[in-house]
């Protein structure tokens, strides 16, 4: 594994071979400016192969040199035939020395290690030595990330998707998972709303015997997403309402009927009729607000009037029917 420094032609380096690539950073503008001004401070590490050189460390440094028109670079050359384990350790260590690894980089590092340490216990022990997670469950989950669609990985890198959500999207049909990751990113949804929308869409698909993509292609959803006057927050509200109505059509119908009848009761501000949660029950409540004794007496008087209204009887009877 002994290495020597040597100047090599950039055209001899197989930059397309990303076997040992750990970094997810693609931007090279700042790095290229630095190299143009100061040169390459830390030579990349290369492994001589039959037709040139394989990159072990320094993908971005090499790309930056190419971008500013250089034809040569000074690199550290490993001994020909250096084993995979040594190359993997160098690749991981080189990145860890520069900065903490993000989730995708950690995944790539663990996948590289698993190629030379197929035994889970050996993998865990080596991960500890390299500063990587050593929990069996965490290692298993992290390894899966680098195999997800690039669009889902980008969601993780941009902090739109948690690891748990990314893995769940990865279990879906590929195009559906990608579309949902883009939807969550566009709407800038938190984990709870992501989970709610994902679950509701999956339940609709199951209930209606449809692929998830067909649910996502619904005209109503597309119209909401394309609405020019709604911002992301408004679109989120309308999407959640649409999905809930489609998932629970009976409840939605009761809600609509309930709203119309309550409006007919003509309850003034400060007095509200609250139905059972999801209309699953027969217990209603009145919410009453007041600022002084006079308002309280007035609200109670209005409540007494409402209690004798036939409309209120219709509301209560309708709920009893719905729960039978």
Fold of 1-99: 3.90.1530
Q: What are the residues whose beta carbons fall under 8 Å from the beta carbon of 137, sequence distance 6 or more? A: none
Tokens of 290: 């007041």
Q: What is the percentage of the chain residues whose pLDDT exceeds 70?
A: 94
Residue 321, pLDDT score: 45
Residues listed for the chain: 324
* Whole-number average pLDDT of the chain: 89
For the entire predicted model, the pTM comes to 0.75
Task: Calculate ∠ Cα 171-18-147, nearest 5°.
Answer: 5
Say how many CA atoms lie within 13 Å of 274 toward its Cβ: 8
Instruction: Provide the total of helices (H) and of strands (E) in the chain, helices listed first.
Output: 16, 7
Q: Does pLDDT of 319 surpass 80?
A: no
Q: Is residue 5 within 8 Å of 76, Cβ to Cβ?
A: yes
Tokens coding 28: 């090279």
Tokens of 33: 């400016």
Strand locations in the chain (E): 4-9, 13-14, 45-49, 52-57, 72-77, 271-274, 285-288
Instruction: Please spell the DSSP secondary structure of 4-19, one letter per residue.
Output: EEEEEEGGGEETT--T
Res. 294: pLDDT tops 80: yes
Neighbours of 238 (CB within 10 A): 17
Residue carrying structure tokens 């930059």: 15
The pairing of strands 13-14 and 52-57 is parallel
Q: How far is CA 108 from CA 61, 101, 132, 141, 144, in A?
A: 19, 10, 11, 12, 9
The burial of 17, by beta-carbon neighbours within 10 Å (0-12 exposed, 13-18 middle, 19 or more buried), is given as middle
Instruction: Tell me the chain's radius of gyration from C-alpha atoms.
Output: 30
Token duo for residue 225? 């997403």
Neighbouring CB atoms inside 10 A of 258's CB total 17
Query: Per residue in 51-97, pLDDT tens?
Result: 899 999 999 999 999 999 999 999 999 998 899 999 999 999 988 88
Q: Where exactly are the structural domains of the chain?
A: 1-99, 103-147, 159-247, 264-322
Chain centroid to Cα 319, Å, comes to: 39
**pLDDT tens across 202-217, in order?**
999 999 999 999 999 9
What does the block give as tokens for 308?
């004798």
In angstroms, how far apart are the furthest CA atoms of the chain?
95
Q: Which residues contact residue 211 at a Cβ distance below 8 angstroms, ignoring those fewer than 6 apart?
A: 173, 176, 205
Beta bridge partners of 272: 287
pLDDT band at 323 (very low <50, low <70, confident <90, very high): very low
Q: Say how far apart CA 284 and CA 322 lie, in whole Å.
A: 14
What pLDDT, in 10s, does the model give residues 18-52? 999 999 988 889 999 999 998 888 899 999 998 89
Residue 107 burial (10 A CB sphere; 0-12, 13-18, 19+): buried
C-alpha distances in Å from residue 25, one per residue of 86, 88, 104, 247, 317? 23, 18, 11, 41, 63
């Amino acid at each position: 594994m002994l290495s020597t420094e040597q100047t090599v032609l950039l055209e001899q380096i197989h930059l397309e071979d990303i076997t040992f690539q750990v970094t997810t950073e693609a931007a090279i503008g700042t790095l290229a400016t630095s190299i143009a001004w100061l040169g390459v401070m830390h030579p990349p590490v290369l492994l001589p192969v039959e037709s040139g050189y394989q990159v072990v460390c320094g993908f971005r440094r090499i790309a930056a040199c190419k971008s500013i028109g250089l034809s040569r670079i000074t690199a550290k050359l490993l001994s020909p035939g250096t084993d995979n384990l040594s190359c993997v350790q160098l690749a991981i260590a080189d990145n860890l020395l520069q900065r903490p690894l993000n989730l995708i980089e950690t995944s790539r590092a663990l996948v590289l290690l698993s190629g030379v340490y197929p035994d889970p216990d050996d993998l865990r022990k080596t991960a500890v030595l390299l500063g990587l997670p050593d929990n069996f469950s965490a290692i298993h989950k992290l390894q899966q990330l680098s195999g997800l669609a690039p669009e889902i990985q980008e969601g993780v890198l941009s902090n739109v998707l948690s690891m748990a959500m990314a893995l769940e999207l990865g279990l879906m049909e590929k195009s559906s998972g990608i579309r949902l990751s883009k939807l969550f990113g566009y709407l800038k949804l938190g984990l709870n709303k992501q989970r709610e929308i994902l679950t509701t869409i999956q339940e609709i698909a199951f209930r209606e015997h449809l692929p998830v993509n067909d649910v996502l292609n619904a005209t109503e959803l597309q119209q909401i997403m394309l609405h020019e006057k709604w911002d992301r927050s408004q679109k989120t509200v309308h999407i959640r309402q649409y999905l809930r109505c489609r998932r629970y059509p009976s409840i939605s119908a009761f809600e609509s009927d309930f709203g119309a009848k309550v409006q007919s009761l003509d309850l003034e501000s400060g007095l509200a009729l609250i139905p059972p949660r999801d209309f699953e029950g027969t217990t209603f409540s009145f919410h009453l607000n007041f600022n002084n004794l006079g308002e309280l007496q007035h609200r109670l008087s209005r409540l007494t009037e409402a209690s004798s209204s036939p409309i209120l009887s219709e509301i209560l009877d309708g709920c009893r029917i719905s729960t039978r």
